[in-house]
């Protein structure tokens, strides 16, 4: 069943120096036409996969969904309501920039069913924010969160980043302190990965990007886990922490290896055993959809072996790990029969633990997650 829908808004008023997602500057873009095209794509998708749809989560990402004006957001929500069945909808999330969320936009979002906000805060050090290409200030964060609470939003998450250029441990501890003072139900924290086609990548190739070393980054991760747990914000995935019962349902679909729809230019989806990526350039995406074609740039039918691999390296991201019974029911073979040798190797080093129900990374294993994930690729 297709349980989630991701909707990509590729417009930004400012391009962050670390971002490699499909995005363009807002100015002079066919924003209104793009929104209408999203509606057409959703209608086409629902027509094809109607018997597979059981949508429990919708996620607006980007780019920046809040780059849209309040009327543009309203039109987007009208199209979503018109085309996507929401009988089973439980979580409706939108990403947002703290300096772009106006009162009017928040009211439109609240009135149209958004019940979870994910704010791109990244740091409470304003020099680091400028280094990242962010345009908001700490005051924007405080004001926006209070305004959202006043309107009635209770499920608010913020994104943080560490391992940033020039970032010290003291700066990271300060950011964590300020973040936790907000007493929010959910936090995500990611180490910087320098991706091609970003400002940071260009600087790195020129030797002009000074990053914390691996040891300091690992220490930052240790401090992160300790600080969150001390405030009752429990880690449930390598980079995600929440109060009990307030995990991100949409992201859990990814880690549970469940099918989901992806709408918009450059969006990715997973339907009927096929992983697909939409056309990235906005005009080419719109031309395909308006011509009555699915805007697929690439598609791959996932083999049984690949599905097992994905089950492991996605599922092991979760603190709860991979459920053995579910693995056996899904693939008709026990997890130990397929991966017994790899499991033994990492259990001996104390990086993986196993019980009757599940296989999961230990705290030690979370520091070398990427290495462990690669070990579950079957030759």
pLDDT for 349-367, tens place per residue?
A: 999 999 999 999 999 999 9
What is the rounded end-to-end Cα distance, in angstroms, of the chain? 29
How many other C-beta atoms are found inside a 10 Å radius of the C-beta of residue 278? 24
pLDDT, residue 379, reads: 63
State phi, psi for 195 to the nearest 5 degrees: -100, 150
pLDDT, residue 26, reads: 75
Mean of pLDDT values over 321-337:
96
Q: Where are the domains of the chain?
A: 2-254, 322-374
pTM (2 decimals)? Answer: 0.95
pLDDT in tens, 22-61: 667 678 899 999 999 999 999 999 999 999 999 999 999 9
**pLDDT of 20 over the 70 cut:** no
pLDDT category at 156 given cuts 50, 70, 90 is very high
**pLDDT of 204 over the 90 cut:** no
Q: Which CATH fold would you assign to the domain 2-254?
A: TIM Barrel (3.20.20)
pLDDT in tens, 110-130: 999 999 999 999 999 999 999
Mean of pLDDT values over 297-321:
96
How many other C-beta atoms are found inside a 10 Å radius of the C-beta of residue 159? 18
pLDDT, residue 17, reads: 76
pLDDT, residue 176, reads: 98
pLDDT in tens, 66-120: 999 999 999 999 999 999 999 999 999 999 999 999 999 999 999 999 999 999 9
């Amino acid at each position: 069943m297709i349980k989630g829908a991701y909707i990509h808004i590729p417009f930004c008023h400012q391009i962050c120096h670390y971002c490699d997602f499909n995005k363009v500057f807002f100015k002079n873009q066919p924003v209104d036409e793009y929104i209408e095209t999203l509606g057409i794509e959703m209608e086409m998708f629902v027509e094809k996969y109607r018997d597979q749809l059981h949508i429990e989560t919708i996620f607006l990402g980007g780019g920046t969904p809040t780059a849209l004006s309040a009327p543009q957001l309203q039109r987007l929500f009208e199209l979503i309501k018109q085309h996507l069945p929401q009988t089973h909808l439980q979580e409706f999330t939108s990403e947002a920039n703290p300096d772009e969320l106006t009162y009017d936009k928040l009211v439109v979002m609240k009135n149209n069913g958004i019940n979870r906000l994910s704010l791109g805060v990244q740091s409470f050090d304003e020099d680091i924010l400028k280094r990242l290409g962010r345009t908001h200030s700490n005051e924007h964060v405080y004001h926006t969160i209070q305004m959202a609470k006043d309107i009635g939003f209770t499920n608010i998450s913020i994104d943080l980043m560490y391992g940033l250029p020039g970032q010290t441990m003291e700066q990271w501890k300060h950011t964590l302190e300020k973040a936790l003072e907000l007493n929010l139900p959910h936090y995500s924290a990611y180490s910087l990965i320098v991706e091609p086609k970003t400002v940071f990548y260009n600087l790195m190739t020129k030797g002009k990007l000074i990053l914390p070393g691996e040891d300091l980054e690992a220490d930052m991760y240790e401090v992160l886990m300790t600080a969150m747990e001390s405030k009752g914000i429990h880690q449930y995935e390598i980079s995600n922490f929440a109060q009990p019962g307030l995990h991100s349902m949409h992201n859990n679909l990814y880690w549970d290896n469940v099918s989901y729809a992806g709408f918009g230019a450059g969006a990715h989806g997973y339907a009927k055993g096929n992983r697909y990526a939409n056309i990235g350039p906005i005009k080419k995406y719109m031309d395909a959809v308006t011509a009555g074609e699915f805007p697929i740039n690439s598609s791959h039918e996932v083999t049984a072996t690949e599905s097992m691999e994905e089950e492991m390296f996605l599922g092991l991201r979760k603190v709860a790990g991979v459920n053995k019974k579910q693995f056996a029911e899904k693939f008709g073979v026990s997890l130990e029969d397929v991966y017994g040798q790899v499991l033994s190797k990492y259990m001996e080093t104390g990086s993986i633990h196993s019980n009757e129900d599940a296989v999961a990374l230990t705290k030690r294993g979370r520091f070398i997650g990427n290495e462990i994930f690669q070990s579950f690729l079957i030759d």
